[in-house]
């Protein structure tokens, strides 16, 4: 592939569908939530609770009751991640992002605010949310994966901007793509957290969005840190446990959902691979259009027949336009569709994580039952309470997961529909532009005599 065609053209690709209607952003001054007594395991009836009352009680958010809050309408909050900028030089440098939040939720002190956050801050937020809520069955939106190769290359370059350099610098263009993909993924991560009825009121999430001061460096997110190595060993242990232990599923609902999620993951991976290949083919086609443009221009200069030479010159210009159009089509394939498919693969991974947490709770419950039989002579009352607590935890996490999956199904269909429609609209624009290019060239071809 020619180096001149490596530069992405972002100007015509709406990666995050920024044309949002903000008329309803401040439609309500109070966010009301209800408590589900069945899920909470309590018979108390609390009719309406204003989130305003929670702002002064951050410790309450982590309580079992508050973890079961469920809202029936979307949160009025929009988060935009913009202006990635490289800070420092060499291997000690990093990229920071401006995080702009617009909201009317009373738990926030202002309606609009901007903070500067580095990539490790996002990973630290994800880790905190996972530690607090995964055990209770909450689906934690996935954060973008770390890329050692991409990060190292970015640290060694001096052009952190995400704007294309007109295709003249292949290395800078590739880094531009890397930064833009990460920026868009970070924005999707924050907005998914913001739309979750429980995660959006978490104190750590609010601090991430509001605090003007620099957050403590999340050193545990480093792959080479002690916590990173411990996390790696834990993942290995989790993987072995998933392979070696099979829970005898007694709930038909979970059996059907697990099968459905696994099937969806398989087909999404196939589609993701096909879309990546399609984007690559379009980039190759753009490179061939570039070659055709240069060849037509050379032939135009060599041909002595004026009308034919002029037509060949216009044909060279046409192929240059088609080259840029093919690049835009490739970017649409990749940024509009493929990246969102990868996002959903990450969400499916998060769903499988909560399924596994349920299995772990079941294992603990079963272990307590076995131990109760073995040690009933010595301390029967203690083991009885452990068995009861294990069953209660298992029933609770099962109910929470069901609610989480119902909410995810609703948002999944709406988001995929919006993505597919935007993908089709972008390609329709490209096809219409291609037809206009060829229609404009047709008179030149007919003028050859």
Of 82, 81, 78, 66, give the one whose Cα is nearest residue 33: 66
Residue 106 pLDDT: 87
Q: What is the pTM for the complete model shown?
A: 0.72
Whole-number Å distance between alpha carbons of 392 and 449: 88
Residue 216 pLDDT: 75
Residues 46-76: tens digit of each pLDDT: 333 333 344 333 333 444 444 444 444 456 8
CATH 3.30.1520.10 domain position(s) in the chain:
66-150+175-212
Residue 364 pLDDT: 86
CATH among 1.10.3720.10, 3.30.360.10, 3.40.50.2300, 3.30.1520.10 for 66-150+175-212: 3.30.1520.10
Radius of gyration (C-alpha) of the chain in whole angstroms: 27
Residues 121-175: tens digit of each pLDDT: 999 999 999 999 999 999 999 988 776 555 555 555 655 444 443 344 444 555 6
Of residues 287 and 147, the one with the higher pLDDT is 287
Of 264, 79, 276, give the one whose Cα is nearest residue 189: 79
Whole-number Å distance between alpha carbons of 195 and 47: 22
Cite the beta strand spans of 104-175 per DSSP E. 112-118
Residue 313 pLDDT: 92
Q: Is the pLDDT confidence value at 437 over 90?
A: yes
User: What phi, psi does 144 have (nearest 5°)?
Assistant: -60, 145
Tokens at residue 280, please?
């690559």
**Residue range 425-437: average pLDDT?**
95
CATH 1.20.1270.60 domain position(s) in the chain:
256-448
| C-beta atoms surrounding 447 within 10 Å | 12
Whole-number Å distance between alpha carbons of 258 and 294: 54
CATH class, range 256-448: mainly alpha
Of residues 157 and 111, the one with the higher pLDDT is 111
Please, what is the Cα angle at 76 between 70 and 79, to 5 degrees? 110
Tokens at residue 61, please?
């958010």
């Amino acid at each position: 592939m020619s180096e001149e065609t490596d530069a992405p053209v972002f100007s015509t690709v709406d990666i995050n569908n920024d044309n949002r209607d903000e008329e309803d952003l401040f439609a309500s001054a109070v966010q009301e939530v209800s408590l589900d007594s069945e899920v909470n395991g309590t018979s108390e009836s609390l009719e309406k609770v204003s989130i305003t009352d929670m702002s002064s009680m951050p410790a309450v958010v982590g309580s079992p009751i508050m973890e079961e809050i469920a809202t029936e309408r979307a949160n009025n909050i929009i988060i935009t991640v913009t202006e990635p900028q490289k800070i420092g030089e060499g291997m000690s440098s990093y990229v920071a992002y401006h995080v702009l939040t617009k909201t009317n939720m009373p738990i926030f002190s202002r309606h609009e605010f901007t903070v500067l956050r580095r990539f490790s801050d996002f990973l630290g937020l994800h880790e905190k949310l996972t530690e607090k809520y995964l055990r209770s069955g909450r689906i934690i939106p996935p954060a973008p994966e770390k890329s050692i190769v991409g990060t190292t290359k970015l640290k060694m370059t001096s052009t952190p901007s995400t704007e294309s350099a007109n295709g003249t610098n292949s290395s800078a263009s590739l880094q531009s793509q890397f930064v833009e993909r990460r920026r868009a993924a970070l924005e999707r991560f924050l907005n998914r957290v913001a739309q979750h009825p429980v995660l959006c009121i978490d104190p750590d999430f609010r601090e991430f969005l509001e605090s003007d001061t620099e957050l403590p460096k999340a050193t545990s997110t480093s792959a080479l840190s002690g916590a990173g190595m411990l996390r790696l060993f834990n993942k290995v242990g989790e993987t072995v446990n998933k392979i070696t232990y099979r829970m005898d599923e007694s709930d038909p609902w979970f059996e059907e959902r697990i099968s459905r999620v696994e099937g969806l993951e398989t087909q999404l991976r196939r589609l993701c691979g096909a879309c990546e290949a399609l984007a690559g083919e379009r980039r190759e086609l753009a490179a061939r259009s570039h070659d055709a443009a240069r060849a037509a221009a050379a032939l135009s200069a060599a041909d002595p027949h004026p009308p034919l030479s002029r037509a060949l010159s216009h044909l060279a210009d046409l192929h240059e336009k088609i080259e840029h159009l093919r690049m835009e089509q490739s970017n649409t394939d990749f940024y509009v569709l493929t990246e969102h498919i990868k996002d959903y693969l990450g969400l499916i991974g998060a769903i499988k994580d909560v399924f596994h947490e349920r299995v772990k709770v079941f294992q603990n419950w079963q272990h307590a039952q076995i131990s109760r039989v073995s040690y009933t002579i010595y301390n029967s009352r203690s083991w009885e309470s452990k068995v009861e607590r294990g069953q209660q935890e298992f029933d609770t996490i099962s109910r929470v997961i069901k609610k989480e999956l119902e909410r995810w199904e609703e948002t999944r269909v709406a988001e995929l529909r919006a993505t597919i429609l935007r993908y089709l609209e972008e390609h329709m624009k490209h096809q219409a532009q291609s037809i206009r290019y060829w229609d404009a060239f047709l008179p030149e071809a007919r003028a050859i005599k």
